[in-house]
Amino acid sequence: MSGGNLNLALTSNYGALVSTNPHDGRPSGGYEFTGPAVMEARIYTPGTTSVDNWPAFWSDGQNWPADGEIDAMEGLGGQLCYHVHDNAGGPGGCTALSPGWHTYGAYWDSTAQVVTFYYDGVQVGSEPFQNAGSPQYLILDNTSASSPVPGTMLVDWVRVWQPS
């Protein structure tokens, strides 16, 4: 933590990851949720004209891919993208949004079996998601699939809520 933000720094040797997985071997703690639910975070992604590295805000189940994965935001090929992963595959899309501060959200409608994605309050996509209602836990990470460009992903806040 620094300046009121969580700092996930990527160096030439290390990436950074924070998880709420309640089944990761910690003696206590963790957090998971089921749908319907909204997950949202305000995040700064590193880069100038394109996103550096592979920053991400996502949720995962305990038994991948059957329990699914919701990628609310991941930097892929310099773009900010969204995807779901389950036994049916990994559909999604990317946006023309520039790096910097943005609010990323995903609404998981477990009844309709769909996830709708929002960037800065604007809907950017919607994908089918079939995970049999299995719980999800949150992950924030900043890593690289190739030679990393040192950079820091900042997280202002994260929240999950279930609509009534």
Q: What is the pTM of this model?
A: 0.95
The string of pLDDT tens digits covering residues 17-35 is 999 999 998 888 899 999 9
CA angle, residues 84, 86, 91, in degrees to nearest 5: 40
The string of pLDDT tens digits covering residues 132-157 is 999 999 999 999 988 888 999 999 99
The string of pLDDT tens digits covering residues 51-99 is 999 999 999 999 999 999 999 999 999 999 999 999 999 999 999 999 9
Architecture in CATH for domain 6-23+33-161: Sandwich (2.60)
| CB-based contacts of 89, cutoff 8 Å, min separation 6 | none
